[in-house]
Copies of this chain bind each other. A is one copy, B any other.
Amino acid sequence: MGTMMEMMESMPQAATTGMDMAMMQECIEACSAVSMTATMCADADSGDDMARCASMCANMADVATATMRMMMRPTGYEPGVMHAMMTACVTMAEACAAECRRHAEMHEHCRICASACEAMVETCRRAMSSMSAA
């Protein structure tokens, strides 16, 4: 993630639009981990009883990707929009983690995906509190 940190430090927009880039970077890393683990979990799920898990993971990967891209665009930053998107991402992650946890003992990929979702929920919630306080 060294490249991204370097990139974020080079961005002058952060100052003007008020996006907290250090906080965002933690969220981006957490979203990136989820977008990857959820994509791989969806791909590894097979069998009738895993269809719901695969579908939720596919949704999770798309939502995490869209959320992290929004976090990488300080120029168009709008606190209200970011808050709504992070809420959607956290809501999706709680549902996805709950589903993956049900198969965590049987499928290692579900356990890893659930953990990544839970970590992202925590990171995003912390950022949302700090945004609300500002």
- Determine the chain B residues whose CB is within 8 A of the CB of A116 once the complex forms: 3
Q: Find the B residue at minimum CB distance from A12.
A: B44
| In the complex, A78 has a CB within 8 A of chain B | yes
Q: Report if A36-B72 is in contact (Cβ < 8 Å); known contacts: A13-B43, A48-B46, A59-B81.
A: yes
Determine the distance from Cα of A22 to Cα of B101 in the docked complex, in whole angstroms: 27
* Contacting residue for A70 out of B51, B63, B76, CB 8 A: B63
| In the complex, A54 has a CB within 8 A of chain B | yes
- Determine the chain B residues whose CB is within 8 A of the CB of A57 once the complex forms: 76
Query: Which positions 53-96 of chain A face chain B at CB distance < 8 Å?
Result: 53-59, 61-63, 65-66, 69-70, 72-78, 80-81, 84-85, 87-88, 91-92, 95
Are A3 and B33 touching (Cβ within 8 A)? yes
- Determine the chain B residues whose CB is within 8 A of the CB of A36 once the complex forms: 3-4, 7, 28, 32, 72
Are B63 and A59 touching (Cβ within 8 A)? no
Determine the distance from Cα of A61 to Cα of B61 in the docked complex, in whole angstroms: 13
